[in-house]
Amino acid sequence: MRISPARIWRERGARYRLEAVRCRKCGHVYYPPKKVCPACRSREMEKVVLPPKGKLLAWSIEYTVPEGYRKYAPIVLGLVELQGGVRVLAPIVDVRPEELRKGMMVEAVLRRVYEDGDEGVIVYGIKFVPAEQD
């Protein structure tokens, strides 16, 4: 994995788009995107953009962090249910662990982009922060 400075510059300050795929055959939605649907083996996947806001359903606090991520420790890994029902597992940032509440609104932000070298697919880069109240 590597970071592309050009990409960070282009998207700096922008709301991150949560790009997922939906299986045209059975309707399952996958984030991160998959090429083949694990449910029905179809390869007919279409791109969909997921809503950026969701509810925090559950989380775990990871004190053991992989090499290269140590300065971020501990990492809060949250299970977020987006509006529309798709669930995403991603780090929750800008919040102290004791402030986390089940059901709190969070929104996706772009903080740092790591790309899959072969296809330019963004593999990691989604983080959620507590959402501004509407």
**What is the binding site for Zn ion (CB under 5 A)?**
23, 25-26, 37, 39-40, 42
Report d(CA 86, CA 70) in Å as an integer.
29
Q: 34 and 19 in contact (C-beta within 8 Å)?
A: no
Kindly state the smallest distance separating residue 40's Cβ from Zn ion, in Å: 3
User: Measured from the CB atom, is 4 or 42 closer to Zn ion?
Assistant: 42
The CA radius of gyration of the chain, in Å to the nearest whole number, is 15
Length of the chain: 134
User: Measured from the CB atom, is 45 or 108 closer to Zn ion?
Assistant: 45
Query: What angle is formed at CA 29 by the lines to CA 55 and CA 20, rounded to 5 degrees?
Result: 80
- Work out the burial of residue 127: count CB atoms within 10 Å of its CB; fewer than 13 is exposed, 13-18 middle, 19 or more buried: buried
Kindly state the smallest distance separating residue 24's Cβ from Zn ion, in Å: 8
User: Measured from the CB atom, is 17 or 25 closer to Zn ion?
Assistant: 25
Q: 59 and 76 in contact (C-beta within 8 Å)?
A: yes
Kindly state the smallest distance separating residue 83's Cβ from Zn ion, in Å: 22
Kindly state the smallest distance separating residue 27's Cβ from Zn ion, in Å: 7
User: Measured from the CB atom, is 33 or 130 closer to Zn ion?
Assistant: 33
